[in-house]
Structure 1
Amino acid sequence: MSEPKQRIVATNGIRLNIAEHGDGPPVLLCHGFPESWYSWRHQLRALAAAGFRAIAPDMRGYGKSDRPEAVDQYTLFHLVGDMVGLLDALEVPSAVIVGHDWGAVVAWHAALLRPDRFHAVIGLSVPFRPRANARPTSLMPRTADSQFYQLYFQQPGVAEAELERDPRATVRSMLYAVSGDASGGGISMVPHGKSLLQAVEAPSNLPRWLSESDVDFYAGEFQRAGFAGGLNWYRNIDRNWELMAPFAGARIKVPALYMAGDRDLVVAFPGMDQLLANLRNFVPQIRDTLMLPGCGHWTQQERPDEVNAAMIEFLRGLPGRG
Structure 2
Amino acid sequence: METIEHKTVHVNGINMHVAEKGQGPVVLFLHGFPELWYTWRHQILSLSSKGYRCVAPDLRGYGDTDAPSSVSTYTCFHIVGDIVALIHSLGVDQVFLVAHDWGAIIGWYLCMFRPDTVKAYVCLSVPLFPRNPNVKPVDSMRALYGDDFYICRFQEPGKQEAEFAKAKTEDVIKNVFCNRNTGPPILPKQAGMPSNNPPDTSAIPLPTWFTQQDLAYFASKFEKTGFTGPLNYYRNMNLNWELTAAWTGVQIKVPVKFITGDLDMVYTLLGTKQYIESGAFKREVPNLQDVVVQPGVAHFNNQEAAVDVTNHIYEFIQKF
List alignment gaps of at least 5 residues for structure 1.
none
| In structure 2, C-alpha distance between the alignment counterparts of 1:40 and 1:160, rounded to whole Å | 26
| Of 192, 195, 200, the match for 2:192 | 195
Q: What is aligned with 1:159? A: 160
- Normalised TM-score (structure 1): 0.93
2:230 is aligned to: 230
Q: Secondary structure at the match of 1:109?
A: helix
**In the TM superposition, what is the alpha-carbon distance from 1:113 to its structure 2 partner?**
1.1
Question: Is 2:212 the counterpart of 1:215?
Answer: no
User: Is the 8 Å Cα contact of residues 125 and 260 (structure 1) preserved in structure 2?
Assistant: yes
Name the CA distance, whole Å, in 2 between partners of 1:85 and 1:42: 25
Q: Secondary structure at the match of 1:252?
A: coil
Structure 1 residue 188 displacement after superposition: 1.8
Query: 1:286 — aligned with what?
Result: 288
* Structure 2 residues without counterparts, runs of 5 or longer: none
Which residue does the alignment assign to 1:299? 301
Residues 126, 266 of structure 2: 8 Å contact kept: yes
Shift of 1:132: 1.6
Moved more, 139-148 or 253-262: 139-148
Question: How has the CA–CA distance of structure 1 residues 262 and 294 changed in structure 2, closer, same or farther, with 3 Å as cutoff?
Answer: same
* Alignment correspondent of 2:111: 111
- Aligned 8 A contact 2:178 2:204 in 1: no
Mapped to 2, the partners of 1:314 and 1:145 lie a distance apart of 39
Deviation, 1:141, is: 3.8
Q: Could you say which residue in structure 2 is the equivalent of 1:7?
A: 7
Seen in structure 2, the aligned counterparts of structure 1 residues 38 and 59 have a Cα distance that, compared at 3 Å, is same
| Aligned residue type for 1:230 | P
> For 1:266, what is the secondary structure of its paired residue?
helix
CA offsets per residue over residues 91-115 of structure 1, 9 Å max, x none?
A: 1211111110000001111111111
User: Where does residue 63 of structure 2 map in the other structure?
Assistant: 63
Aligned letter for 1:200? N
Question: Secondary structure of the equivalent of 1:189?
Answer: coil
Q: Determine the C-alpha separation between the residues in 2 that align with 1:291 and 1:144.
A: 25
Deviation at 1:200, TM superposition (A): 2.3
Deviation of the 1:90 alpha carbon: 1.7
Q: Secondary structure at the match of 1:9?
A: strand
- CA separation in 2, counterparts of 1:140 and 1:169? 26
Task: Report Cα offsets for 1:164-211 as digits up to 9, x if no partner.
Answer: 34111111111101xxxx4x4466222345333454243531110000
In structure 2, C-alpha distance between the alignment counterparts of 1:221 and 1:186, rounded to whole Å = 29
Normalising by structure 2, report the TM-score: 0.93
- What value does the CA root-mean-square deviation take over the aligned residues? 1.7
Alignment partner, residue 97 of structure 2? 97
Change (3 A) 1:2 1:98: same
CA 1:237–1:32 in structure 2 vs 1: closer, same or farther (change >3 Å)?
A: same
DSSP-derived class of the 1:39 partner = helix
Tell me which moved more, 230-239 or 152-161. 152-161
Q: Which moved more, 1:214-223 or 1:162-171?
A: 162-171
Determine the C-alpha separation between the residues in 2 that align with 1:2 and 1:283: 38
Are 2:25 and 2:95, in contact at CA under 8 Å, matched by a contact in 1?
yes
| Cα distance in 2 for residues equivalent to 1:252 and 1:46 | 28
Give structure 1 regions of 4+ aligned residues with deviation exceeding 6 angstroms: none
> Aligned to 1:190, what secondary structure does the other structure show?
coil
Q: Which of 307, 311, 317 is the aligned partner of 2:319?
A: 317
Which residue of the partner structure matches residue 176 of structure 2? 174
**What is the one-letter code of the residue matched to 2:206?**
L
* Inter-CA distance 185–191: structure 2 relative to 1 (3 Å threshold): farther
Contact 1:107 1:122 in 2 (8 A): no
| In structure 1, distance between residues paired with 2:172 and 2:189 | 19
Report if aligned partners of 2:183, 2:269 keep a CA contact under 8 Å in 1. no
One-letter identity of the residue aligned with 1:315:
I
Q: Distance in 2 between matches of 1:144 and 1:283?
A: 27
The answer to whether the 8 A contact 1:187-1:196 is kept is: no
Match of 1:276, as an amino acid? I
* Correspondence for 1:268: 268
Q: 1:30 to 1:143 in 2, by over 3 A?
A: closer
For residues 187 and 175 of structure 1, the distance between their equivalents in structure 2, rounded to whole angstroms, comes to 15
Aligned residues: 313
Asked whether the equivalents of residues 186 and 194 of structure 2 are also in contact (C-alpha less than 8 Å), the reply is no
